[in-house]
C-alpha cells in the first residue's frame, strides 16, 4: 500500500518535467536564434554610413547618401533620393570603402 502511494507521487513529477523540458527546447530552438538575428540586424542598421549600397525590406536597391538617428536617405537613381526608416533596411550589399591612398612610385621602377 505504501509503495502504491509513493509511485503515484513520483508520477506527478513527470508532467511538470515534460513542461519544463518543452519550454527549454522552445527557448533554445526558437527564442535565442530570433534574438541573435535581431541583434545582428540592429548592429547592421546602426553601422550604416554614406556610400553603403543597401537593399530595403521592399527589395529596392540604393546607395546611402545621408544617415541620421531615425532615417536613412537613399539614392535609388541618379538624382532621385528617398528617405527610409532605419529598420526598413534589410541588408547591406557592399560597404563603402575608405579612400585609397595614392600609390607612391618606387625608385626602382622603370619609366618608359
pLDDT class of 111 with cuts at 50, 70, 90: very low
End-to-end Cα spacing for the chain: 107
What is the C-alpha R_g of the chain? 28
Per-residue confidence (pLDDT) for residue 107, from 0 to 100: 46
Q: Is 0.75 surpassed by the pTM of this model?
A: no
pLDDT at residue 9 in the model: 54
Q: What is the pLDDT of residues 6-55, one digit of tens each?
A: 555 557 889 999 999 999 999 999 999 999 999 999 999 889 999 999 99
Q: Give SS3 for 62.
A: strand
At 78, list the grid cell: 541618379
How many other CB atoms sit within 10 Å of the CB of residue 74? 23
Query: Taking the CB of residue 65, how many other CB atoms lie within 10 A of it?
Result: 13
* 76-108 as b/e: b if 16+ CB within 10 A: eeeeeeeebebebbbebeeeeeeeeeeeeeeee
| Nearest of 57, 98, 96, 52 to residue 75 by alpha carbon | 52
Which pLDDT score, from 0 to 100, does residue 59 have?
A: 93
Decide if 23 contacts 38 (C-beta within 8 A). no
The per-residue pLDDT for range 51-110, each reduced to its tens digit, is 999 999 999 999 999 999 899 999 999 999 999 999 999 999 987 664 554 544 444 444
What per-residue confidence (pLDDT) applies to 12?
85
Amino acid at each position: 500500500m505504501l509503495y502504491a502511494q509513493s509511485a503515484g507521487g513520483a508520477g506527478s513529477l513527470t508532467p511538470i518535467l515534460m513542461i519544463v523540458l518543452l519550454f527549454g527546447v522552445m527557448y533554445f530552438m526558437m527564442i535565442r536564434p530570433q534574438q541573435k538575428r535581431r541583434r545582428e540586424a540592429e548592429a547592421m542598421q546602426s553601422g550604416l554610413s554614406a556610400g553603403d549600397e543597401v537593399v530595403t525590406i521592399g527589395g529596392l536597391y540604393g546607395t546611402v547618401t545621408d544617415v541620421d538617428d531615425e532615417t536613412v536617405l537613399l539614392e535609388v537613381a541618379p538624382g532621385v533620393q528617398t528617405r527610409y526608416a532605419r529598420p526598413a533596411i534589410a541588408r547591406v550589399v557592399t560597404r563603402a570603402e575608405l579612400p585609397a591612398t595614392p600609390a607612391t612610385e618606387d625608385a626602382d621602377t622603370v619609366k618608359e
